[in-house]
Homo-oligomer: A and B are copies of this chain.
């Protein structure tokens, strides 16, 4: 083995884990498969993440943090709501392009019943973050603000879900375009 710079194993596990969950769901997340891709043994993953629930929660948490940064970036580079929403929908589009993956939280919501409580808690946090950001970007106020923001998030997640089922990004694009035409968001 060449003297490579110290690879952060923990990070590698999270990277591989996220890829699996986005592609095949939390249930498909296997310590053995994960260990194989990372290049260590399954027992070693338990060193970093004692239980599968810990790993799942860490995945959801990191995902939310990454999203938070991405959202700040969008606010910085796009001045108006239309441009910001374009970048927002592109984030979900990116997952689809990247190996036909889904939003990590979307797929976790689908598997809710099998998920440890600590994972679900992180999922809720991600949703709350998205709703807050959308409320701000779309300038929503009043009692209907949250439902409206959630409607946008739901619609985009649904588009991702079905486009993924069809295995064609074009389905996602057309669906998003239809939302825009309908005036669901700018």
Contacts and interface: CB of A to CB of B under 8 A. Distances in A.
A interface, size bucket: 35 or more
A150 B179 CA distance: 10
Interface stretch (A65-73, A80-88, A156-164): A156-164
A111 B148 CA distance: 28
Interface string A98-128: 0010100011111111100000100110010
Nearest to A153: B162
A8 interface: no
Interface of A: 23-25, 27-28, 100, 102, 106-114, 120, 123-124, 127, 144, 146-148, 150-151, 153-159, 161-167, 171, 174-175, 177-179, 181-184
